[in-house]
Structure 1
Amino acid sequence: MKQAKWLVASLLILGVLSYLWGRAPSKLSIDSPTQGALTEVELPADCEVKGEGCLVSIDELGEFRITMPETVIPLERFAFEVKPQDEAARSVGEVRVDFEMVDMDMGVNAYRLERLADDTFRQDIILPVCTTSRTDWIANLTIRSTEGGFLVRLPFHVDRSRP
């Protein structure tokens, strides 16, 4: 009887550990939503985040260049970068991005961007494939700073065929 209890307990622990291991430990800490109110930032009319990127101005903080590669393919890793311009980096504490497709459940695609030595915030991203062949995404960028929280919604399209 004692052995059966140990076997059941061991299997239960292995099951929990397997689940956590499969969830990608680096992502476990960033699925939690950010706290506090966010001020939505209006995008410039000519904002195209892919390629050279888009320069977004936040009155209280300054300007930020937001970039991703010209070609973004589902299930392939790509870099998402936010580069504060001039003195804007001083007051920025945290930068996160959450990818969504309007009226479509694509699961949790949330990432915390890492601050690099040059004050660029960067993270490698992998987006899922939409089974209905949609390619329209929105990158919801959250910037937390000493001046408050700001939300930038960046629409873009993924590339379904290889270049």
Structure 2
Amino acid sequence: MNQARWLVATFVILAALSFIWGHNPDQVRLKDTVYGPVIAVVIPNDCTLKGVGCDLSLGQIGNVLVRAPKEIKPLKKFSLVVEPQGDASKSMGAVSVDFQMVGMDMGINRYPLTRSSDGNYAQNIILPVCTTTRTDWVADLSFTTTAGTFVAKIPFIVDHR
């Protein structure tokens, strides 16, 4: 009987910790309020998020380089960096990314990027493991600027564990 109590208590504690870990208050928040038009960013055919990065045009605002390390593995921390090019940093406000897997519920994987003193935006990210072993993700980036909000959806593949 004692073993059953320990088993139930362990299960309850693990369930509570899983709930708390999966509902980080910093990441469970409403999307940034959008003022002005929402503009879809055309993703270039040669766009490679991992490694070299992807150069995106935000119309009259200018270009931004979005890059991640050459290797991204589930449950391993990696850094996503957005580098405004030229005068783009003057018009850039908030930058955030929401990672999604098409047709799957992978929980909330939304990260606001923090602006550093050099004008770049960055955030350390950890993606969950897909139980069906899928590796295809979409980085849904939002750039809030003085000309409106630009949205870019960049597909990429994570590396196997």
- Deviation (angstroms), 1:32: 1.2
Q: Which residue of 1 aligns with 2:33?
A: 35
**How many percent of aligned residue pairs carry the same amino acid?**
41
Q: What is the alpha-carbon distance in structure 1 between the residues aligned to residue 155 and residue 119 of structure 2?
A: 24
Instruction: Give the 5 Å matches for 1:13-162.
Output: 22=21, 23-28=23-28, 31-36=29-34, 37-161=37-161
Distance 1:142 1:134, change over 3 A: same
Aligned twin of 1:3? none
One-letter code aligned to 1:89: S
The count of residues paired between Structure 1 and Structure 2 equals: 142
Is the contact between residue 111 and residue 123 of structure 2 (CA under 8 Å) also seen in structure 1? yes
User: Matched residues in 1 for 2:112 and 2:137: separation?
Assistant: 18
Q: Which runs of 5+ in 2 are unaligned?
A: 1-16
- Give, in whole Å, the separation in 1 of the partners of 2:76 and 2:54: 22
Using structure 1 for the length normalisation, give the TM-score: 0.82
**Distance in 2 between the 1:145 and 1:117 partners?**
18
- How far 1:84 sits from its partner (Å)? 0.1
How far apart in 1 are the matches of 2:128 and 2:87?
35
The alignment partner of 1:113 has SS state of strand
In 2, the alpha carbon distance for the partners of 1:83 and 1:158 equals 22
Distance between the aligned counterparts of 1:34 and 1:27, measured in 2?
12
RMSD: 1.8
Taking the aligned partners of 1:34 and 1:154, their CA distance within structure 2 comes to 20
Match of 1:7 in 2: none
Shift of 1:26: 3.4
**Is the CA contact (8 Å cut-off) linking 2:99 and 2:138 kept in structure 1?**
yes
What's the secondary structure of 1:119's corresponding residue?
Answer: coil
Unmatched runs of 5 consecutive residues or more in structure 1: 1-17
Distance 2:43 2:26 in 1: 30
Matched residues in 2 for 1:20 and 1:143: separation? Answer: 30
TM-score normalised per structure 2:
0.83
